[in-house]
Amino acid sequence: MLYAQILVNGLVLGGLYACIAVGFSLVWGVLNVINILHGSFVVLGSYVAYFAYVHLGLHPFLSVFLSGALLFALGYAVQAGLINKVIRAPVLTTLVLTFGLELILNNGVLLAFSADYRTVQLSNPMGSVVVGGIVLPLERVTATLLALALTGLLYLMLVKSRVGRAIVAVRMDPEAAALMGVKVKKIYAITFGVGALMAGAAGSLLSVVFPISPLNSTEFLGIAFVVCVLGGLGSIAGAMVGGIALGVIESFGALFIGPEHGLTIAFVLLILLLIVRPTGIMGRRGYE
């Protein structure tokens, strides 16, 4: 029974991880940019949810739209204004640039909100139910289901919408897409915006589960990395699989080795995977 409970905990955690990672994976896959800002985007989403709840009484599950919209605007501006200008430079340039931007953003968030941990104290919490001896904390479960639903929406957007098709086209072959009349740099900005949107939305959902602090941004970034490599770069299904795998591995790792080693286990796994399967753990094809 203990193992079943831990498995469920891992699955619940994994859905949230998938939502954290999918935007990061999208940006990496389409733009070949590792967005070091991603962790801070998640934290910003949490702060939007926190303040929307404290000042407007907006439930974090609803402020997903608000944080998503705000983060989309921020992400779009960063890509269009800065990263697009050096997108053709060697990998090191974009990597160091997003690192520099992250130092600025994270320092700004620290100054504005301090390093104190905050939590969203819901006035009418949903509590938990016991199903077949397994405890299901309802807020967590709902957050995870919403995270998976959002990820599903992103998938639909990529497959069905005009913009989504353009993103997929640019990912597969930017030159050919440009010849077909796709404005590649605009698509890059939209993609980066969507990546930030998913991070912000994930942040809002996380705010009912985890304490909020700028200090968490590195951990979220680490999670995004590992999920991406575990599941496969740029594919939505990959992010889902990787997220859930990480959630389950972390939960069992916490049981057997100790909760403080969760991220390390993930990192060791990541290095091993990189060594064994260096080129694309799952396919680098379109978004299926």
Partner 1 sequence: MMNRVWTVLTVIAIALVAAMPALGDNYLLRLGTMGAMYAVLALSWNVIGGFAGYPSFATAAFFGLGAYTGGILQGAGLPMPLAWGAACVVAAAFAALLGLAILHLKGHYFAIASLVVGEVLLEIATSWTSLTGGGMGLNLPIIRISIDAQARLFFWSMLTFAVLALLMNYLVARHRLGFGLDCIRQNEDAASMVGIDTTRYKIIAFALSALFVGGAGALYASWVFYIEPPDVFATLTSVKPIVMAMLGGAGTVLGPAVGAVIFLTMEELVWRNLLSIHAAALGLLIVGLIFFLPGGLIGLLTGRRRRAAPKAKGGAA
User: Between β-strands 128-131 and 134-137, what pairing exists: parallel, antiparallel or unpaired?
Assistant: antiparallel
Contact pick of 119, 128, 161, 264 for partner 1 (by CB under 8 A): 264
CA distance 153 to 76: 19
CA distance 85 to 95: 14
Three-point CA angle 178, 184, 39, nearest 5° = 150
* 122 touches partner 1 (CB under 8 A): no
* 95 touches partner 1 (CB under 8 A): yes
* 79 touches partner 1 (CB under 8 A): no
* 278 touches partner 1 (CB under 8 A): yes
Contacts within 8 Å (CB) and 24+ apart, 169-178: 170/30, 171/29, 171/30, 171/234, 171/286, 171/287, 172/285, 172/286
CB of 217 to partner 1, least distance (A): 12
| Binding characters for partner 1, 218-257, by CB under 8 A (x = yes) | x---x--x---x---x------------------------
**Which one of 130-138, 145-153, 235-243, 269-277 is the stretch in contact with partner 1 (CB under 8 A)?**
269-277
Contact pick of 116, 129, 268, 288 for partner 1 (by CB under 8 A): 268
* 108 touches partner 1 (CB under 8 A): yes
Size of the site for partner 1 (CB under 8 A): 44
* 180 touches partner 1 (CB under 8 A): no
Going by C-alpha positions, the residue among 205, 189, 208 that lies closest to residue 82 is: 189
Contacts within 8 Å (CB) and 24+ apart, 250-259: 250/10, 250/13, 251/6, 251/7, 251/9, 251/10, 251/13, 252/6, 252/10, 255/6
CB of 137 to partner 1, least distance (A): 29
By CB under 8 A, name the binding residues for partner 1.
Answer: 28, 32, 34, 82, 85-86, 88-93, 95-97, 99-108, 111, 218, 222, 225, 229, 233, 261, 263-264, 267-268, 270-271, 274-275, 278-280, 284
